[in-house]
């Protein structure tokens, strides 16, 4: 490692970093604006000036920009030399000439990098006597506020939005000191990573509009480490919550990124950042609800649904315990349905309550089958599930049947970086360091190869050098042929059109030539044949390269892979449940169904769900939102959302990560497992199974129990310290040491400070008492350091700039037994397509396909009205026109919806937006068949049974 | 012996030398000779000739070319680009060359393209230069029809197409990497170096950008050789140069003169000296972004290093004369306004520093200056000095101001103490 001298002190530093990031790693405070640890150096702001001396004789030195300076072994530098300090002071003075100094009314205030850097550079007196330049602001959509007068022109926003995230509707406009960062015309920012502008902007030009609606200062938010629940990538987040003067209960107010080196790094997608509002939405359940037709207080019902009213939670728990007791006496049967969007702890608690034999996955056969396929692929030693940095360094990417921008958005952002690897290689051959972003990006523009085959691709088409839009069957066939091509086996009878055959050869050549190829696929196509072919391909590639193939498989929900671990194969799927209940109907034993955080209408066709409900006597639901299933439940318990509870999710890589309660849910909201334990507590008789539940007082008790029961999940007892952990005898504080107004905020009611709630699950306090900046554990989510109030301070919590978090990475890989992939030859099905029917292919939307975020107010503004896609040829065949209504006749009824032209929809198929409000119940039918015909004139959109 | 290679085809009439008259006067002789030479030998010849870039920086042209990668591994596509975005205040030499003798530029570009192996050339021309652009367009077609440009030129196997790109108007496009960005349709902001354009320039391909006048020096240098070319200069620097004078002189204009011609000769003989009743107070030797020199520097020869040693730059070699009845504060205010407006907005000292300088100068000129303003201006000149900004625009902007603060300090003080401009 090179040794350098800074202000007389000798240090050893990483020679691959620039001087600025080396200094920051050393803990030195140097102000900067345009440099970003992930985006590198461009030398625009000139704020990070230091002095470099030729040798020890050189007394004056020369001014350099530390972000643009490579480390020279033996180099002598100064941060504190008068010339450097004066220059930095002058630069901040220049920058501030136009700044409006509106900190008191600016939402960035208190976590503003510009405030911090102004302070650090010692600019305290204004000498500029002129007028300030002013700008008009734009409407940028429901996520982002725009206040251009605050801009200091660091160019970070456009560098992130355009260069890093591939957006094209935010530009630097104009020139000189009038530069304007905005859109050509007002309108929503179209890129799905726009929310990062809030954190990338060093001041308050771009702020979080959803946070504005219930704004408090950063120091007034309580926070804890959490995991995003809006897809299965497992991004780490730092939700912030606080009570308000007219509401005693804390509410969730915003999400910010929480750095995780191997997953999200510095950036989140907009679904993850703005989806949180579902917890505060009108459909949130915060009371215990039951079916009583008398004394109706509130109604949760549309016209003919069951009516609910609030009941005393104790009555409901007692009622549940009576049913459990009856089950103990064999007088009743209790069935549990789990959920891929609920924690392992909740799922396991329900399993423990009802017994493994009566515990069902909450997934339909197909969903469970594809998840098991993912699981078995990831259990093969020849396959490696790559981290985000590994994705970013791939030099060829093949995406098979997965529209990752809409199903695993953060991974799409990583693939976008992988596209630059040819450019980076060119830089290295010219000895240009990779952090020299302005230099690297001007090198030859050719992308590293990115090839896509599948139904739909969003946001990556600009960097993909081949996109093939084909049905899942053809996609599987292509992948199968590719595997054979790579393994050198010439398939005799693969009937493929010539253009696919040619692409097979081309793709095989690209993958074989690449040093670090990557394959991406997933479960969203709901097509086992594709995953089997992907397995074959990965195996062939691994055999050729003699190294495991990097294969990223995207699953659909936050805990899809966690839930999968609790079941063998497709056992416990919902069709099996319906069949079992049908078969045992004659037993004539009353049956209770406990549904954990799951909307069955998204899992099974409507008739099957109705049948299931008709086969049981009691439906008990534990959930966060009033879903269609909730409307059929006899009793509903309000369940904690992710930010309100502790638990474990297993992400797409098989990484088990623990999330912690940021705040206590309002009203009677509590974790689903606590409702179950409460009910068991009421039981007069217990068996061994139930007495285990009675012992559970802490979330970690269940984590430990899971670790004992499931070998594959045994890391669950190592995911973090238990609730007894202390640093210097203290818990870790969720509130900052500046948390204000504790006694004043409720002064209209009382002036005493209410005692903080005790956290039974984590070694953290729901108050400002405790350790504030431990930097020894992953429990820290309030990213703050003296003098560094913004999220930029994350480097103080990293081993080195851009490196692992101090205290180690959060999460542990689950330990799946290693099995070679079974040989799935000859599974390329000939699908029996009903005559005159179309195959419904699920297509995905960043906003609209995910159940929880759909209830977020800001996101709901962007969700499209129901539609289906069809290619122009078939549009003519069916005699329908763009924008007209069509009838989609399915086994679940007729869906009357708008039809849109899409040139890439494969022939014989219609693209159906998965989970889109209005079409949710079609989700369970895909990829099935439907017939399509023009709707009668003067009809209106909707669903007919 | 030919002593006016740049202007030998230029007459008193405002017409362009057409291909017939150009060929009649030994036109394209350098190009024909070049096509018989090894490209590397041309680079060496130009290097040895001592031709220095006429755009202002004065870098050895042959040396610049020699950084272009050659050989099997080198990229196949390379570009030659002519910087014709002449926007330096007080400078009007390239316009003359392009309007009156467009083929000379094309011939120079063709030789340069051959020397570095470029098959495409662009002339990035200032938007306001309509006439020059039209005449160049015509000249390109003439040259093509004679087989001097286009495919397989003169059966040599070498091909070159030259295109005209009319600038949307931005001083920063004179900076070669900002020019390349503009040519690619991007924002005209300078690029980070390395990589230098010779290695990764236009669309990431090896590219040489030279000034109009630089290219115009090439044909005769190649045709008549190094010794002739070096012999043209009176002092250290080789060749001849278009010098110009603007300001309140009797005969403002441009003249082709040997390098090293004394400043006094340019101003007093060719420009006819100061108008009656006016005294020379100072002058900017090479355009708006050079330091003021005073009357005691009049006997210096116009040679890059000599002017550099005297504390200024030869720049474009077009002198702006300041007389004793013109307010120096007003002059630097005017220049600073230009530079502040033309800042690309990339780096802080230039983008936010220059408008502040303008505001301070404006209030001094308006009689509202404060005594501490002079220190503020000096401090700001420091902050936009060489090495502190991303490119050379702001250091250039500092030059007239910082030298005016030294040479004409009393004028600034008078503005502040009299609370008005004494020249009004």
Element (H, E) at A337: strand A333-337
**pLDDT of B380:** 96
Long-range CB contacts (< 8 A, 24+ apart) of A775-779? A775/A806, A775/A807, A776/A727, A776/A806, A776/A807, A777/A720, A777/A721, A777/A725, A777/A727, A777/A732, A777/A807, A778/A225, A778/A720, A778/A805, A778/A807, A778/A808, A778/A809, A778/A810, A779/A224, A779/A225, A779/A660, A779/A720, A779/A721, A779/A732
Contact A565, A710 (CB under 8 A): yes
Which residues of chain A from 179 to 208 reach within 8 Å of chain B, CB to CB? Answer: 179
Structural domain boundaries of chain B?
A: 19-232, 240-323, 328-418
- A427 and A345, same domain (yes or no): no
Nearest CA among B284, B36, B286 for reference residue B155: B36
Which one of A32, A123, A176 makes the best mutation probe of the B interface by having the most chain B beta carbons within 10 Å? A176
**Averaged pLDDT, B399-417:** 97
What does the pLDDT read at residue A493? 62
Question: A442, A378, A386: which is closest to A410 by C-alpha?
Answer: A386
Look at residue B180 and tell me whether its pLDDT is greater than 60. yes
Query: How is chain B split among helix, strand and coil, in percent rounded to 5?
Result: 45, 15, 40
With a cut of 70, say whether residue A830 has pLDDT above it.
Answer: no
CA distance A868 to A930: 12
- Do both A471 and A498 map to the same domain? yes
Asked if A395 and A346 sit in the same domain, the reply is: no
Question: Does residue A442 or residue A21 have the better pLDDT?
Answer: A21
β-strand partners of A333: A591
Q: Tell me the chain B residues in contact with residue A43 when contact means C-beta distances shorter than 8 Å.
A: 192, 347, 390
In chain B, the percentage of residues whose pLDDT exceeds 70 is 100
Is the predicted pLDDT of residue A939 greater than 80, yes or no? no
Q: Is there a single domain that holds both residue A714 and residue A854?
A: no
Reply yes or no on whether the pLDDT at A827 is more than 70: no
Tens-place pLDDT, residues A603-656: 999 999 999 999 999 999 999 999 999 989 999 999 999 999 999 999 999 999
A-chain residues near B200 (CB < 8 A):
426, 430, 442-444
Minimal Cα distance from A62: which residue of B?
B387
Task: Give me the pLDDT at residue A213, please.
Answer: 93
pLDDT-based confidence at residue A482 (cuts at 50, 70, 90): very high
> Which CATH architecture does the domain made up of B240-323 adopt?
Roll (3.10)
| End position of a domain, from candidates A671, A700, A718 | A718
Note if the bond before A697 is cis, omega within 30 degrees.
no
One domain, residues A324 and A411: no
pLDDT grade for A304, boundaries at 50, 70 and 90: very low
Q: Give Cα separations from A339 to A373, A641, A660, A674, A696 (angstroms).
A: 18, 13, 19, 16, 21
CA–CA separation, A230 vs A408, rounded Å? Answer: 9
Q: What is the pLDDT of residues B234-272, one digit of tens each?
A: 999 999 999 999 999 999 999 999 999 999 999 999 999
Nearest chain A Cα distance for residue B348, angstroms: 5
Mean pLDDT across B127-147: 97
Over residues A338-355, mean pLDDT: 98
Q: Which residues pair with A208 in a beta bridge?
A: A144
**Residue A301 confidence (pLDDT) above 60:** no
For the cut 90, the answer to whether the pLDDT of residue A810 exceeds it is no
Q: Are A392 and A446 in contact (CB under 8 A)?
A: no
Which of A152, A153, A442 lies at the smallest CB-CB distance from B200? A442
Residue closest to B168 by CA, chosen among B140, B208, B129: B129
What's the pLDDT at A457? Answer: 94
Q: What angle do CA B165, B166, B167 make, to 5 degrees?
A: 110
Tokens 């939670």 belong to residue? A313
3-state secondary structure of A838: strand
The pLDDT of residue A295 is 43
A208 token code pair: 């979080």
Interatomic CA distance for residues A416 and A408, integer angstroms:
13
**The pLDDT value given to residue A298:** 46
Share of chain A residues as helix, strand and coil, in percent rounded to the nearest 5: 30, 20, 50
Q: What is the pLDDT of residues A98-144, one digit of tens each?
A: 999 999 999 999 999 999 999 999 998 899 999 999 999 999 999 99
d(C-alpha B225, C-alpha B49), whole Å: 8
Longest dimension (CA), chain A: 98
**Pair A509, A643 in one domain:** no
How large a percentage of chain B has pLDDT more than 90?
A: 97
pLDDT at A829: 57
Of A177, A430, A436, the CB nearest to B351: A177
What mean pLDDT is predicted for residues A826-832? Answer: 59
Q: For chain B, what is the largest distance between any 2 Cα atoms, rounded to a whole number of angstroms?
A: 73
Percent of chain A with pLDDT over 90: 84
- Predicted confidence at residue A292, as pLDDT, reads 57
pLDDT at res. A701:
97
Q: Where is B360: in which H helix or E strand?
A: helix B354-365
Assign residue A903 the CATH number of its domain: 2.40.40.20
Residue with tokens 């003519």: A876
According to DSSP, residue B268 is labeled: I
pLDDT band at A940 (very low <50, low <70, confident <90, very high): confident
Q: Which of these ranges, A803-817, B92-106, B118-132, B281-295, has the smallest mean pLDDT?
A: A803-817
- We report the CATH number of the domain holding residue A492 as 3.40.228.10
pLDDT at residue A828 greater than cutoff 60? no
Q: Are A450 and A344 members of one domain?
A: no
Q: What is the pTM of this model?
A: 0.96
Q: Answer for the pair A793, A754: CB distance below 8 angstroms, yes or no.
A: no
**What pLDDT score was predicted for residue A826?**
52
| B340 contact residues in A (CB cutoff 8 A) | 176-177
Note whether A497 and A641 are same-domain residues: no
Confidence of residue A825 (pLDDT cuts 50, 70, 90): low
Cβ-based contacts under 8 A for chains A and B: 118
Chain A residues with CB-CB distance to B343 below 8 A: 175-177
B-contacting residues in A 118-137 (Cβ below 8 Å): 127-130, 133
Q: To which residue do tokens 């005017």 refer? A: B334
- Per the rule left: phi > 0, alpha: psi between -120 and 50, beta: everything else, A494 is beta
Residues A539 and A581 in one domain: no
From A148-152, A495-499, B321-325, B419-423, the region with the lowest mean pLDDT: A495-499
Residue A266: inside a domain: no
Residues A513 and A640 in one domain: no
Distances (CA, A) of B59 to B50, B63, B85, B110, B209: 10, 8, 18, 20, 12
Predicted local confidence at residue B102, as pLDDT: 97
Share the mean pLDDT of chain B: 96
Closest CA to A732 of A672, A661, A835, A814: A661
Tens of pLDDT, residues A239-280: 999 987 667 788 999 999 999 999 999 999 999 999 999 999
Question: What is the rounded average pLDDT of the residues B58-72?
Answer: 95
A296 pLDDT tier (thresholds 50, 70, 90) = very low
Grade residue A299 by pLDDT with cuts at 50, 70 and 90: very low
**Within 13 Å and on the Cβ side, how many CA atoms surround A3?**
4
A168 touches B at CB < 8 Å: no
The reply to whether omega before B195 is within 30° of 0 (cis) is yes
Average pLDDT over residues A387-398: 97
Mean model confidence pLDDT for chain A:
93
What is the structure's pLDDT at B230?
Answer: 96
> Using one digit for the tens of pLDDT, what is the confidence trace for B358-400?
999 999 999 999 999 999 999 999 999 999 999 999 999 999 9
Nearest residue to B246 via CA among B198, B287, B190, B197: B287
Residue A210 near chain B (CB below 8 Å) = no
Tens of pLDDT, residues B199-211: 999 999 999 999 9
Q: What is the mean pLDDT of residues A720-734?
A: 92
Is residue B337 a contact partner of residue B89, using CB atoms and an 8 Å limit? no
Residues ≥6 apart with Cβ < 8 Å to A365: A570, A573, A574, A575, A576
Q: Are both A451 and A526 inside the same structural domain?
A: yes
pLDDT in tens, A879-893: 899 999 999 999 888
- CB-CB neighbors (< 8 A) of B347 in chain A: 43-46
The 10s digit of each residue's pLDDT in A551-591 is 999 999 999 999 999 999 999 999 999 999 999 988 889 99
Cα separation, A638 vs A597, in Å, equals 10
User: Into how many domains does chain A fold?
Assistant: 4
For CA atoms A96, A97, A98, A103, the dihedral sign is positive
Which of A597, A522, A573 minimizes the C-alpha distance to A844? A522
- The reply to whether A46 touches chain B by the CB within 8 Å rule is yes
Higher pLDDT, A300 or B169: B169
Burial B40-49 (b: 16+ CB within 10 A, else e): eebbbbbbbb
Cβ atoms A258, A237 nearer than 8 A: yes
- Domain with A407, as residue range(s), is 376-557
ipTM greater than 0.85 = yes
Give the Cα separation of A496 and A825 in Å (integer).
Answer: 18
Q: Residue A770 in contact with residue A736, Cβ under 8 Å?
A: no
Residue A49 covered by a domain: yes
Across the interface, of A94, A438, A444, the residue whose CB is closest to B353 is A94
- pLDDT (mean) for A374-403: 97
Q: For the domain bounded by B19-232, which CATH number is listed?
A: 3.40.50.11540
How many C-alpha atoms does A882 have within 13 Å on its Cβ side?
A: 6
Q: What's the pLDDT score for residue A446?
A: 77
Closest CA to B87 of B320, B298, B287, B310: B287
* CATH number reported for the structural domain that contains residue A705 in this entry: 3.40.50.740
Q: Which of A51, A73, A96 is the last residue of a domain?
A: A96
CATH number at residue A16: 3.10.20.740
Q: Which of A394, A406, A386, A420 is nearest to A39 (CA)?
A: A420
| pLDDT for A824 beyond 80 | no
The reply to whether A486 touches chain B by the CB within 8 Å rule is: no
Q: How far apart are CA A319 and CA A618, in angstroms?
A: 11
Domain end marker among A691, A718, A745: A718
Asked if residue A198 is part of any domain, the answer here is no
Query: Residue range A767-791: average pLDDT?
Result: 89
Q: How far apart (Å, rounded) are the C-alpha atoms in residues A337 and A594?
A: 6
Residue A493's SS3 state is: coil
pLDDT for B143-174, tens place per residue?
A: 999 999 999 999 999 999 999 999 998 999 99
Residue B136 to residues B20, B98, B129, B218: CA-CA distances in angstroms?
15, 7, 11, 18
Cα dihedral across residues A809, A814, A816, A821: positive or negative = negative
Architecture of domain B328-418: Up-down Bundle (1.20)
CA distances from A622 to A174, A436, A921, B153 (A): 55, 52, 20, 82
User: Per the CB < 8 Å rule, is B200 touching A179?
Assistant: no
Same domain, A446 and A547: yes
Residue A706 domain-assigned (yes or no): yes
pLDDT value at A490 more than 80: no
A826 domain-assigned: no
Q: How many CB atoms lie within 10 A of CB B305?
A: 13
Across the interface, whether the CB atoms of A44 and B390 are under 8 A apart is answered yes
> With an 8 Å Cβ cutoff, are A98 and B352 in contact?
yes
CB neighbour burial string for A852-873, b if at least 16 within 10 angstroms, e if fewer? bbbbbebbbebbeebbbbbbee
Contacts of residue A311, defined as CB under 8 A and 6 or more positions apart, other chains included, come to A288, A289, A290, A292
| Cβ <8 Å between A44 and B170 | no
Tens digits of residue pLDDT in A399-412? 999 999 999 999 99
């Amino acid at each position: 490692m090179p040794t350098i001298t800074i202000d007389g002190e000798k240090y050893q530093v990483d020679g691959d970093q620039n001087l600025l990031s080396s200094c920051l790693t050393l803990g030195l405070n140097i102000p900067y604006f345009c440099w970003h640890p992930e985006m590198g150096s461009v030398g625009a702001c000139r704020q990070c000036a230091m002095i470099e001396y030729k040798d020890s004789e050189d007394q004056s030195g020369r001014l350099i920009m530390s972000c643009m300076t490579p480390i020279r072994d033996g180099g002598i530098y100064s941060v504190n030399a008068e010339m450097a300090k004066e220059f930095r002071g002058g630069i901040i003075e220049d920058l501030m000439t136009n700044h409006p100094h509106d900190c008191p009314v600016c939402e960035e205030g208190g976590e503003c990098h510009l405030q911090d850097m102004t302070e650090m550079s010692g600019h305290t007196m204004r000498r500029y006597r002129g007028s300030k330049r002013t700008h008009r602001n734009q409407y940028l959509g429901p996520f982002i506020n725009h206040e251009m007068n605050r801009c200091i022109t660091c160019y970070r926003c456009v560098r992130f939005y355009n260069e890093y995230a591939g957006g094209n509707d935010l530009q630097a406009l104009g020139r000189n000191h009038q530069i304007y960062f905005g859109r050509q015309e007002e309108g929503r920012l179209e890129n799905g990573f726009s929310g990062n502008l809030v954190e990338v902007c060093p001041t308050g030009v771009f702020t979080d509009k959803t946070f504005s609606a219930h704004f408090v200062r950063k120091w007034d938010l309580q926070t804890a480490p959490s995991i995003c629940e809006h897809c299965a990538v497992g991004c780490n987040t730092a939700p912030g919550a606080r009570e308000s003067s007219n509401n005693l209960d804390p509410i969730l107010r915003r999400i910010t990124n929480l750095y995780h080196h191997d997953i999200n790094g510095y950036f989140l997608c907009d679904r993850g950042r703005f989806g949180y509002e579902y917890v505060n939405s009108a459909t949130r359940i915060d009371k215990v609800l039951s079916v009583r037709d008398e004394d109706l207080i509130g109604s949760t019902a549309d016209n003919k649904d069951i009516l609910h009213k609030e009941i005393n939670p104790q009555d409901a728990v007692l009622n549940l315990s009576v049913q459990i007791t009856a089950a103990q006496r064999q007088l009743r049967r209790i069935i549990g349905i789990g959920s891929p969007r609920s924690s392992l702890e909740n799922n396991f608690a329900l399993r423990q309550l009802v017994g493994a034999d009566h515990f069902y996955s909450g997934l339909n056969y197909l969903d469970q089958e594809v998840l098991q396929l993912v699981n078995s692929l990831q259990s093969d030693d020849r396959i490696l599930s790559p981290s985000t940095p590994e994705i970013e360094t791939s030099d060829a990417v093949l995406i098979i049947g997965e529209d990752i921008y809409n199903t695993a958005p953060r991974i799409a952002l990583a693939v976008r970086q992988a596209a630059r690897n040819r450019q980076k290689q060119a830089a290295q051959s010219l000895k240009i360091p990779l952090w020299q972003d302005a230099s690297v990006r001007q090198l030859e523009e050719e992308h590293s190869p990115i090839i896509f085959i599948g139904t739909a691709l969003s946001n990556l088409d600009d960097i993909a050098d081949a996109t093939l839009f084909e049905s899942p069957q053809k996609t599987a066939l292509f992948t199968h042929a590719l595997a054979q091509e790579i393994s050198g086996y010439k398939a005799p009878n693969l009937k493929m059109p010539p253009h696919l055959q040619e692409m097979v050869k081309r793709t095989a050549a690209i993958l074989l030539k690449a040093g670090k190829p990557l394959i991406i696929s997933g479960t969203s196509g709901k097509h086992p044949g594709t995953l089997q072919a992907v397995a074959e391909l990965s195996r062939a590639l691994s055999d050729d390269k003699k190294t495991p193939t990097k294969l990223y498989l995207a699953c659909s929900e936050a805990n899809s892979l966690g839930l999968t671990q609790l079941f063998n194969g497709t056992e416990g799927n919902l069709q099996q449940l319906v069949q079992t209940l049908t078969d045992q109907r004659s037993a004539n034993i009353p049956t209770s169904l406990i549904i954990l955080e799951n909307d069955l209408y998204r899992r099974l066709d409507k008739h099957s769900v109705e049948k299931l409900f008709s086969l049981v006597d009691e439906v008990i639901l534990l959930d966060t939102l009033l879903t269609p299933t909730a409307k059929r439940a006899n009793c509903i318990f309000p369940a904690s959302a992710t930010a309100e509870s502790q638990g474990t999710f297993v992400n797409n890589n098989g990484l088990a990560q623990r999330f912690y309660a940021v705040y206590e849910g309002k009203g009677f909201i509590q974790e689903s497992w606590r409702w179950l334990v409460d009910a068991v507590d009421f039981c007069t008789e217990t068996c061994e199974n139930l007495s285990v539940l009675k012992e559970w007082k802490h979330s970690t008790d269940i984590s430990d129990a899971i670790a004992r029961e499931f070998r594959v999940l045994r890391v669950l007892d190592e995911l973090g310290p238990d609730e007894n952990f202390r640093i210097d005898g203290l818990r870790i504080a969720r509130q900052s040491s500046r948390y204000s107004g504790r006694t004043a905020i409720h002064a209209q009611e009382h002036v005493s400070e209410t005692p903080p709630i005790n956290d039974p699950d984590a070694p953290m306090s729901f108050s400002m008492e405790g350790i504030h900046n431990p930097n020894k554990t992953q429990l820290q989510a309030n990213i703050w350091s003296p003098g560094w109030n913004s999220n930029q301070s994350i480097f103080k919590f990293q081993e080195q700039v851009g490196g692992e978090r101090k205290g180690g990475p959060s999460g542990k890989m689950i330990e799946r037994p290693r099995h070679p992939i079974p040989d799935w030859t000859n599974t390329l099905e000939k699908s029996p397509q009903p005559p005159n029917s179309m195959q419904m292919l699920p297509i995905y939307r960043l906003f609209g396909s995910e159940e929880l975020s759909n209830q977020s107010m800001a996101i709901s503004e962007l969700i499209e009205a129901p539609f289906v896609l069809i290619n122009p040829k078939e549009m003519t065949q069916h005699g329908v026109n763009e924008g007209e209504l069509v009838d989609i006749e399915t086994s679940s009824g007729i869906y009357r919806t708008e039809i849109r032209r899409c040139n890439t929809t494969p022939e014989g198929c219609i693209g159906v937006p998965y989970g889109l409000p209005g079409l949710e119940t079609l989700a369970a039918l895909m990829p099935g068949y439907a017939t399509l015909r023009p709707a009668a004139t003067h009809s209106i959109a909707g669903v007919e049974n | 012996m030919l002593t006016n290679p740049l202007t030998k085809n230029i007459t008193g009439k405002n017409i362009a030398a057409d291909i017939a008259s150009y060929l009649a006067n030994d036109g394209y002789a350098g190009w024909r000779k070049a096509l018989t030479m090894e490209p590397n030998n041309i680079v060496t010849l130009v290097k040895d000739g001592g031709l220095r870039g006429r755009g202002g920086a004065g870098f050895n042209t042959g040396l610049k070319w020699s950084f272009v990668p050659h050989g099997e591994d080198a990229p196949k596509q390379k570009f030659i680009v002519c910087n014709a975005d002449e926007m330096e205040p007080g400078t009007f030499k390239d316009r003359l060359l392009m309007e009156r003798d467009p083929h000379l530029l094309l011939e120079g570009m063709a030789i340069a393209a051959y020397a570095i192996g470029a098959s495409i050339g662009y002339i990035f021309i200032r938007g306001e230069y309509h006439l020059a652009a039209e005449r160049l367009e015509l000249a390109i077609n003439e040259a093509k029809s004679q087989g001097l440009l286009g495919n397989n030129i003169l059966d040599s196997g070498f091909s070159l197409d030259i295109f005209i790109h009319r600038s949307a108007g931005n001083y920063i496009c004179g900076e070669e990497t900002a020019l390349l960005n503009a040519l690619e349709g991007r924002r005209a902001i300078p690029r980070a170096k390395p990589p230098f354009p010779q290695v990764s320039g236009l669309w990431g391909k090896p590219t040489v950008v030279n000034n109009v006048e630089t290219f115009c020096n090439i044909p005769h240098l190649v045709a008549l050789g190094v010794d002739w070319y070096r012999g043209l200069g009176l002092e250290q620097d080789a060749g001849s140069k278009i010098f110009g004078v603007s300001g309140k002189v009797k005969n403002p204009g441009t003249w082709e003169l040997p390098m090293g011609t004394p400043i006094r000769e340019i101003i007093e003989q060719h420009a006819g000296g100061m108008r009656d009743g006016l005294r020379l107070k100072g002058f900017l030797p090479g355009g708006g972004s050079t330091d003021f020199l005073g009357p005691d520097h009049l006997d210096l020869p116009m040679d890059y290093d000599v002017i550099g040693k005297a504390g200024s730059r030869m720049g474009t070699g077009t002198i702006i004369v300041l007389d004793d009845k013109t307010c120096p504060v007003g002059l630097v205010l005017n220049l600073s306004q230009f530079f502040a407006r033309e800042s690309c907005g990339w780096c802080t000292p230039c983008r936010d520093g220059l408008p502040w300088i303008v505001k301070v100068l404006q209030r001094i000129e308006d009689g509202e200056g404060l005594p501490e303003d002079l220190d503020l201006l000096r401090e700001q000149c420091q902050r936009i000095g060489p090495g502190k900004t991303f490119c050379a625009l702001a250091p250039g902007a500092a030059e007239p101001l910082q030298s005016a603060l030294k040479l004409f300090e009393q004028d600034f003080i008078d503005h502040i103490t009299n609370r008005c401009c004494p020249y009004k």
